């Protein structure tokens, strides 16, 4: 049987062993720091410099974004991207740099690598999302609320975010050593199935994006589309699937974006001037000198309208019952009602000037010549009466 003294000695020895074991990691950590002090200092300085640089760049991005908060230009888009640089990415990058300069245990180095891979993949996804959304916002227009695409930005944001972070998730798994072949194949098959099932919807969606980026027309433009007889209408709304137009006759025309882009579209509102052609005919009794003076004569009518400019007024050919002529002028007005008003004013002014100058318009006529039994021609009109 052990004595009390020996029991106390045994207890003291166990307490000393525990204390020595507890102090061993601390001593080992101190020794490791001493052995890698230079590398840790260099890595810490490099990491601090890089983190400081990223903070400065993020602050610069905030200033760029303040100048264009709606991200309508590349300045605002770049500012938005830079401000989305996360602290998590900065810390992960700093840890990775410090670990690369010091001889750390393999498990700790692997943990730092995993942390940096996750942070880098998520950060790249955030940057890609901001760039894509910024470009789309810049193309939607100055008034995003005026179009369905502008109102659908929340849906587009969700779709872009899901796609970006799904790719980031796959990249993270692949870098962690997980076999993602089956996952990618499954997503590919699922995407093909969804694409085939919603082929019409996706075709109209991509057509809407083509309208946004290519801008063949905008909201409020007057366009003419389709083969003859073509249709003229004003664009009221550009949606994700359809475009709504207001025809000149008043009714609303709703067309699928794909069907609209498959046709020949003429943007009338984008014309700087409208060229108007007025054909007319003169009687054959018109003198050649008068025809030579036609530009000078009709210019008086054109000059009365400030927005119009004479292009030409010439004889074109010998018609069946008239000398066919053509009056061409440019009108800088874009409004259809004003164009019609100017055209009517020019027509009536030309009629007054021709009446004053004694110039006669021709109309479809046929003259029949007959002859007497002796061969003498009988005039088809009555001879002028002799004054008594």
Alpha carbons 117 and 230: distance in angstroms, whole number: 58
Alpha carbons 96 and 92: distance in angstroms, whole number: 6
Mean pLDDT of the chain: 78
Alpha carbons 37 and 184: distance in angstroms, whole number: 45
Identify the pLDDT of residue 35: 55
Q: What average pLDDT does this structure show over 55-77?
A: 78
Name every residue whose Cβ is closer than 8 Å to that of residue 73 and which is 6 or more positions away in sequence.
138
SS3 22: helix
325 class by beta-carbon count within 10 Å (0-12 exposed, 13-18 middle, 19+ buried): buried
Q: Can you read off the two tokens belonging to residue 286?
A: 């018109």
Q: Is the predicted pLDDT of residue 105 greater than 90, yes or no? A: no
Helix (H) or strand (E) holding 311: strand 308-318
* pLDDT tens per residue across span 324-343: 999 999 998 877 788 899 99
Alpha carbons 76 and 128: distance in angstroms, whole number: 15
Domains of the chain are 21-142+153-174 (no CATH), 208-267 (2.30.30.60), 274-357 (3.30.70.100)
Percentage of the residues of the chain whose pLDDT score is greater than 70: 76
Residues 48-52: contacts with CB within 8 Å, 24+ apart? 48/94, 50/93, 50/94, 50/97, 51/90, 51/91, 51/93, 51/94
What is the model's pTM? 0.49
Among 88-102, 103-117, 138-152, 245-259, the range with the most confident prediction by mean pLDDT is 245-259
The angle at the Cα of 271, spanning 267 to 272, to the nearest 5 degrees, equals 160
Q: What average pLDDT does this structure show over 158-166?
A: 84
Helices (H), the chain: 4-35, 37-67, 74-83, 87-101, 106-140, 148-151, 153-175, 181-197, 199-214, 257-261, 288-292, 294-302, 336-357
Task: Please count the CA atoms within 13 angstroms of the CA of 108 that sit on its side-chain side.
Answer: 8
pLDDT grade for 37, boundaries at 50, 70 and 90: low
Tokens 């200033």 -> residue: 63
């Amino acid at each position: 049987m052990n004595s009390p003294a020996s029991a106390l000695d045994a207890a003291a020895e166990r307490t000393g062993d525990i204390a020595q074991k507890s102090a061993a990691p601390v001593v080992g950590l101190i020794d490791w720091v001493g052995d890698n002090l230079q590398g840790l200092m260099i890595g810490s300085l490099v990491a601090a410099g890089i983190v400081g640089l990223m903070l400065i760049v993020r602050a610069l991005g905030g200033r760029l974004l303040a100048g264009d908060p709606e991200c309508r230009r590349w300045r605002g888009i770049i500012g938005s991207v830079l401000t989305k640089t996360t602290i998590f990415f900065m810390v992960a990058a700093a840890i990775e740099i410090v670990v690369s300069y010091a001889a750390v245990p393999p498990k700790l180095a692997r943990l730092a690598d995993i942390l940096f891979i996750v942070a880098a993949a998520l950060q790249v996804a955030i940057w890609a999302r901001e760039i894509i959304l910024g470009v789309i916002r810049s193309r939607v227009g100055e008034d995003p609320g005026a179009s369905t695409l502008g109102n659908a930005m929340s849906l587009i944001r969700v779709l872009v975010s899901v796609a970006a972070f799904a790719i980031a998730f796959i990249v993270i798994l692949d870098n962690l050593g997980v076999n993602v072949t089956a996952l990618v194949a499954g997503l590919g098959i699922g995407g093909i199935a969804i694409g085939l099932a919603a082929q019409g919807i996706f075709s109209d969606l991509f057509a809407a994006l083509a309208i946004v980026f290519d801008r063949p027309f905008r909201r409020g433009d007057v366009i003419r589309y389709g083969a003859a007889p073509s249709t003229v209408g004003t664009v009221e709304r550009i949606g994700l699937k359809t475009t709504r137009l207001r025809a000149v006759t008043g009714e609303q025309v709703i067309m699928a974006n794909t069907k609209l882009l498959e046709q020949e579209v003429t943007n009338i509102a984008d014309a700087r001037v409208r060229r108007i052609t007025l054909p007319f005919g003169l009687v054959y009794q018109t003198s050649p000198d008068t025809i030579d003076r036609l530009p000078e004569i009709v210019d008086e009518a054109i000059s009365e309208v400030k927005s119009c400019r004479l292009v030409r007024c010439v004889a074109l050919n010998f018609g069946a019952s008239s000398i066919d002529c053509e009056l061409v002028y440019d009108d800088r007005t874009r409004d259809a009602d004003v164009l019609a008003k100017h055209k009517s004013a020019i027509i009536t002014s030309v009629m007054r000037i021709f009446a004053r100058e004694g110039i006669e318009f021709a109309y479809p006529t046929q003259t029949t010549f007959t002859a007497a039994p002796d061969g003498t021609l009988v005039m088809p009109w009555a001879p002028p009466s002799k004054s008594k």
